[in-house]
Amino acid sequence: MRKEFLHHYLAYTILVLALVLIVLSFFTVWPNVIAQRYLILILSAFYFMWGVISHTKTDHITTKVIVEYLAVSILAGLLLSLVTF
Distances (CA, A) of 36 to 2, 16, 70, 73: 34, 19, 20, 16
Domain that holds residue 74: 2-83
CA distance 10 to 44: 20
**How many Å is the Cα radius of gyration of the chain?**
14
Report the number of distinct structural domains present in the chain: 1
Q: How many CB atoms lie within 10 A of CB 62?
A: 9
**pLDDT, average across residues 22-35:** 95
Q: Encode pLDDT of 74-85 as tens digits.
A: 999 999 999 998
Contact 53, 65 (CB under 8 A): no
Q: What is the reported pTM?
A: 0.91
CA distance 58 to 32: 39
Residue 1 confidence (pLDDT) above 80? no
